[in-house]
Amino acid sequence: MTLSLLLLSAFLGNAWADQPEMEARARAVLDDMVMSRGVADGWQAEPRLVAPWAGGTRVRARQSVLGIPIVGRELIVSFDPDGTPTRVDGRMVPEVRLDPTPIVSSAEAVRLATEAVRAQGHGSLAWEPRHALRVWFDPGEQPHLVWQIDVGAGAPFTTWRAFVDAHDGKLLALGETLVQARGNVYPTNPVVSEVTEVELFVTQNQLQGPYATAWSCDTWSSQSGCTAKSRHAVADEDGNFLFPPDPGSLDDPFAEVQMYYHLDRIGAFYADRFGLDMPQMEGLVNFDYANAFYGDADGDGIGEVAFGQTGDMDFAYDADVVYHEYTHAVFGEVVDPGFFSSDEYGLVRATAGLNEGTADLFAIALTGDPLMGEYSGSAFAPFDEPIRDLRKVRRCPDAVYGESHIDGEIWGSFGWRMMDDERIGVDVVTELVYAAMLTWPSDMTWPIAGESIATTADEMLDAELIDETTHAAIYEIGQRTGVIGCGRVVRLDEGATPTQVIRHMRFLGEGEGLPLENQFSLDVPLFAHAVEFRVTEFTSGHPNFGWNVYVRRGTHIVHELVDIETNFGTMQLPAPADYDYVIEGSGQEGVIRLTPDSLDAPLAPGATYFFSITSRADGEINGYASADITVEGEVLFNFAEEGVACGCGAPAGVPASLVWLVPLAWVAGRRRKEP
């Protein structure tokens, strides 16, 4: 029996397990946890998703307190193929002492959220915001009664979600929920395939079926999204939909057919392979918008796969981008993701990167092609190249940049390396990643993602779905790419020269701003003479944009949430709390050197030094500013051999403990943490 048939037979033997029975078993497991641990008064956990896979079944349950759903705290009960519980992932809420009665009205919460969204540069609202009462835990594990506000914004069009404290009106979190990419469809796309006549599964002679439907958006604006739609693809007298491509037309029936065919294909894939019962997906095409996205395009509260066009380029002609966008819907259904959070290391944006990477991974699994969007990429001159090339290795955490599509390449390229390895292959990879994804919490991190792969591979080995050779290959590739064992600190002494995006927003005002997602470290051998931490590039066109470097010996810099007062209320963001000292810098390049001769902060050979960077505004920054910042580190063992004179002096005003080399314009200052 082939591996594919082995997986299929194992799945079919388990996939159609009685859903009420599995829900009941999950409730029994959770009730046992309640008896052994104790939980909040009025606590409930209601199964939301019963998801079979080849190695058993996972049941995701949404927690609530006093009838109010809890955001981002789903519990996942895993069962083996015999229905025996094997483990529970996720965090059961502790005892919650929370007044369930809101003090801030929903109207006031909507106003605060709307102001926060407008502050991101939007000129209008696309539709009336929606609101719901929820319980939300901040990164410090403190519960808040919140209004969850979903806002559709225009000029430019996108969607946002905000959490406003229902007791004191603080804006606790704000994130964009429209998932965008660039994209198109033929059998693959016009670059690598010809128009092919295929069999369509339609009902009532229209482009609709159990998995998908397709429409043209007749009225689109950057302020309101899609406000009117119709179908241009009408069946002929034989019931066929045979149209030539017309990519420059907003009345192109071919685009509707292509969108429908590939949505139907990817929907059937998830249903047949995993038993995932997704709602019928609506595809929108034929509107003037130079991008593609999954999200609520028309204000009905339901996500659509929407593909615009520009000039003679129709994004609906790229199959892998259709599969990518559909998988965003799957990710949302399974993981119920947040947008970004924070922890003691700084900001956490891994959920968004893993969302994009998972969408790429399943798209290339269907096409067998590691190049994403060859046709769509040609729309963005002068590049004329694929949107993403997943043949390139992206090592974690070195390649974490802080933008979802770029970070997603870590996960997508990891998937392709496994698919392309004859010891593993596509069938194992899709089963492995899907089953791992079923265990993910809403606030994902890269370490959790890597651990989920290792744990699921172990489960597949125990269930005899893979052999020892395949199991070892998964671990080998996972460790070689850094995915298994990925952390939040980039080791600069291993030669990494990472680049991350650094951001500052107007509401932060002057002074300190947002930290990078990852920190950096340098191990100092016992015989070292000096350590250098270098900012080698800082690409920002804003004259008031600076940065701070925080330094700590022995362990990482610890961040805590602080209240930031804005013109739309109070928002909580991470700020460095535990560190040894901070250095203020600006400019393109600079070198920090620590030596054993430092007067008040001597270098300690044998120790590890950690560095964290935050944005800083030295004057007014209107709106939003971002820049790339690239760093490197080096341990020096002999000044003479390095060509650096031992008697180096420090610039005026900087203690001899730190020697700053100033190749370009530079402003530097230094302060120790207040006791």
* Helix or strand run (H / E) with residue 383: none
Which residues lie across from 380 on neighbouring strands? none
> What does the block give as tokens for 667?
């402003």
Q: Give mean pLDDT, residues 434-446.
A: 93
* Helix or strand run (H / E) with residue 9: helix 3-12
- Rounded to whole angstroms, the Cα distance separating 62 from 91 reads 11
CATH fold for domain 3-89: Nuclear Transport Factor 2; Chain: A, (3.10.450)
Query: What pLDDT, on a 0 to 100 scale, did the predictor assign at position 119?
Result: 84
> Cβ-count burial of 587 within 10 angstroms (0-12 exposed, 13-18 middle, 19+ buried)?
middle
> What does the block give as tokens for 542?
């804003």
In this predicted structure, the answer to whether residue 87 has a pLDDT above a threshold of 80 is yes
Q: Give mean pLDDT, residues 461-475.
A: 97
Binning pLDDT at 50, 70 and 90, where does residue 662 land? very low
Query: What pLDDT, on a 0 to 100 scale, did the predictor assign at position 180?
Result: 54
Side chain identity at 433, as an amino acid letter?
V
The answer for residues whose C-beta is within 8 angstroms of residue 606's C-beta and 6 or more apart is 524, 525, 526
* CATH 3.10.450.40 location in the chain: 106-177
Interior/surface letters 450-483, b for 16+ CB within 10 angstroms, e for the rest: bbbbbbbbebbbebebbeeebbebbbbbbeebbb
Q: Whose CA is closest to 60, among 78, 48, 44, 43?
A: 48
Binning pLDDT at 50, 70 and 90, where does residue 599 land? low
Structure confidence by residue, pLDDT tens digits, 284-342: 999 999 888 998 988 888 899 999 998 888 999 999 999 999 999 999 999 987 767 88
In this predicted structure, the answer to whether residue 155 has a pLDDT above a threshold of 90 is no
The answer for residues whose C-beta is within 8 angstroms of residue 279's C-beta and 6 or more apart is 302
CATH fold for domain 181-480: Elastase; domain 1 (3.10.170)
Q: Looking at domain 106-177, does it have CATH number 3.90.420.10?
A: no
Structure confidence by residue, pLDDT tens digits, 217-230: 999 998 889 999 99
Query: What pLDDT, on a 0 to 100 scale, did the predictor assign at position 205?
Result: 82
Query: What pLDDT, on a 0 to 100 scale, did the predictor assign at position 382?
Result: 57
CB 445 within 8 A of CB 348: yes
Interior/surface letters 649-663, b for 16+ CB within 10 angstroms, e for the rest: eeeeeeeebbbbeee
> Cβ-count burial of 343 within 10 angstroms (0-12 exposed, 13-18 middle, 19+ buried)?
middle
Query: What pLDDT, on a 0 to 100 scale, did the predictor assign at position 17?
Result: 52
Q: Over 308-355, what HEC string results?
A: CEECCEEHHHCHHHHHHHHHHHHHHHHHCCCCCEEECCEEECHHHHHH
Query: What pLDDT, on a 0 to 100 scale, did the predictor assign at position 543?
Result: 86
